[in-house]
């Protein structure tokens, strides 16, 4: 009748999974019907982006909607450490590539950061596209939780964040911090291509943040963000 969660099957994002029947809409429905040409009776996996994953059977394939009867549900706990990357905003496609990689590595939150040497502010339309990248990457990499994208902040605003681990990526700092066995919140700040200004670094240190060197080479900002997240996770 239905498969367990181990057999691989097609996966879709569906924010509402609490009822016995779920509906795929928009991109997800189009992908199911026009790209994959799925039909009634096929098994699919759905995830709501907040830790619930379900298996179900396609009931009806409509023009812009696919209905699925939910057969099984399972909860995935969030990781013990909540990892936030707050970074300057790379230009063009590099932003989308970075967002996709952060999702794959398991980052929980990304916050665009306004820095002295960079203040690219992604426009509304761009942020909307990024949300689609987040969903698409989560779908592909089988994450149950969506990465959250928050509004742009200044350095002063982000320095006020309370977190158990507060790091500023900077070539001069020490290597290899490691998240402990417990749980908590970690926030890492990644500066722009031109680096932090001395004033910014000073401001961060005064607010109790720690320098952290990601390696001997100067990384592009999107590489630094992904490496930082991978090292913490």
List contacts with its own copies (CB under 8 A): 79, 97, 100-101, 103-106, 140-143, 214-220, 223, 226-227, 230-231, 233
Q: For its own copies, which is the closer residue by CB, 63 or 176?
A: 176
> What is the C-alpha to C-alpha distance for residues 154 and 144, in angstroms, rounded to an integer?
30
User: How does strand 65-75 pair with strand 165-169?
Assistant: unpaired
SS3 49: coil
Q: How far is the CB of 59 from its own copies (least distance, A)?
A: 28
The answer to whether 188 and 232 have CB atoms below 8 angstroms apart is yes
Q: How far is the CB of 51 from its own copies (least distance, A)?
A: 13
> What is the C-alpha to C-alpha distance for residues 204 and 202, in angstroms, rounded to an integer?
5
Q: How far is the CB of 162 from its own copies (least distance, A)?
A: 26
- In eight-state DSSP terms, residue 149 is E
Q: How far is the CB of 156 from its own copies (least distance, A)?
A: 27
CA 136 from chain centre, in angstroms, equals 11
> What is the C-alpha to C-alpha distance for residues 172 and 99, in angstroms, rounded to an integer?
26
Q: How far is the CB of 229 from its own copies (least distance, A)?
A: 9
Cβ contacts of 124 within 8 Å, gap of 6 or more: none
Q: For its own copies, which is the closer residue by CB, 159 or 186?
A: 186
Q: For its own copies, which is the closer residue by CB, 29 or 102?
A: 102
User: How does strand 81-87 pair with strand 109-114?
Assistant: parallel
Q: For its own copies, which is the closer residue by CB, 207 or 219?
A: 219
Q: For its own copies, which is the closer residue by CB, 58 or 196?
A: 196
Q: For its own copies, which is the closer residue by CB, 84 or 96?
A: 96
SS3 185: strand
Q: How far is the CB of 102 from its own copies (least distance, A)?
A: 10
């Amino acid at each position: 009748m239905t498969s367990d969660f181990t057999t691989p099957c097609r996966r879709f994002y569906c924010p509402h999974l609490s009822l016995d029947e779920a509906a795929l809409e928009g991109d997800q429905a189009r992908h199911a019907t026009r790209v994959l040409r799925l039909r009634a009776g096929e098994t699919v996996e759905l995830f709501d982006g907040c830790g619930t994953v379900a298996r179900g059977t396609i009931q009806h394939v409509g023009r812009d909607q696919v209905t699925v009867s939910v057969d099984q549900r399972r909860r995935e706990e969030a990781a013990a450490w909540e990892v936030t990357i707050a970074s300057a905003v790379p230009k063009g496609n590099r932003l989308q590539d970075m967002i996709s990689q952060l999702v794959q590595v398991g980052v929980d939150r990304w916050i665009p950061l306004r820095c002295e040497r960079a203040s690219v502010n992604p426009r509304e339309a761009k942020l909307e596209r990024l949300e689609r990248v987040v969903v698409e990457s989560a779908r592909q990499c089988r994450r149950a939780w969506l990465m959250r994208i928050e509004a742009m902040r200044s350095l002063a605003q982000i320095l006020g964040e309370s977190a158990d681990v507060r790091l500023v990526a900077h070539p001069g700092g020490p290597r290899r911090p490691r998240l402990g066995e417990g749980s908590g919140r970690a926030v890492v700040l990644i500066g722009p291509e031109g680096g932090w200004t001395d004033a910014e670094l000073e401001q961060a240190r005064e607010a109790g943040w720690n320098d952290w060197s990601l390696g001997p080479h100067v990384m592009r900002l999107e590489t630094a963000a992904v490496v930082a997240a991978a090292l913490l996770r």
